[in-house]
Amino acid sequence: MAVIPIRVFPEPVLRQKAKRVRTIDGSIQKLIDDMIETMHAVPGRVGLAAPQVGVSLRVIVIGVPEEEDIILVNPEIVQRTGERLVDEGCLSIPGYIGEIKRAVSVKVKGRNRNGKEIRITANDLLAQALEHEIEHLNGVLYIDYLESMDKLHKIEPEEAQL
Ligand code: NI
């Protein structure tokens, strides 16, 4: 396993549409393990998407405090419910947060590390993290929802980042 440097906006890989994973083989499992280790190495982290470590493939990991890590390959949101305003940050846009709208609850499907199909129903921070990381796979960043970059606020590094 290895900690991989996190790519920072405006690196082009963050704007690419990531490719679907065809087979969850050893190289994908190594990518997953490296992503988990990289995520855990960052204080305040909540999730990480493969493009953030420079790999344009549809893989995300989520590490909400007090909950088991979630690994999703080829994740898709199948349902969004409700709407709420949240402060959101991103490991690829360090030191800032912005206020955007997110779903209250989402249903997501994807495959786990062993290729088994899994479905997750999530609320609040976990739902926010899933939406945020899946958007990374489409080259979308939360700042895209702000009227302008002037709406960003500076934060301390240890605050939650997605
Ligand atoms: Ni992010």
Q: What percent of the chain has pLDDT over 70?
A: 98
**What pLDDT is recorded for position 160?**
64
**Looking at 83, 133, 135, 147, which residue is catalytic?**
133
Q: Confirm whether 162 is domain-assigned.
A: no
Q: Confirm whether 3 is domain-assigned.
A: no
- pLDDT over 90 at 81, yes or no: yes
Q: Confirm whether 150 is domain-assigned.
A: yes
Q: What is the number of structural domains in the chain?
A: 1
- 16: domain CATH number? 3.90.45.10
Separation of CA 89 and ligand 1 centre (Å)? 7
pTM exceeds 0.75: yes
The protein residues having their C-beta less than 5 angstroms from ligand 1 (an ion) are: 90, 162
The domain in which residue 79 lies consists of 12-154
Q: What confidence tens digit (pLDDT) does each residue in 2-44 have? A: 999 999 999 999 999 999 999 999 999 999 999 999 999 988 8
114-to-2, 5, 14, 24, 160 alpha-carbon distances in Å: 20, 25, 26, 7, 29
- pLDDT over 70 at 48, yes or no: yes
Is 37 known to be catalytic? no
Q: Confirm whether 5 is domain-assigned.
A: no
**What pLDDT is recorded for position 158?**
66
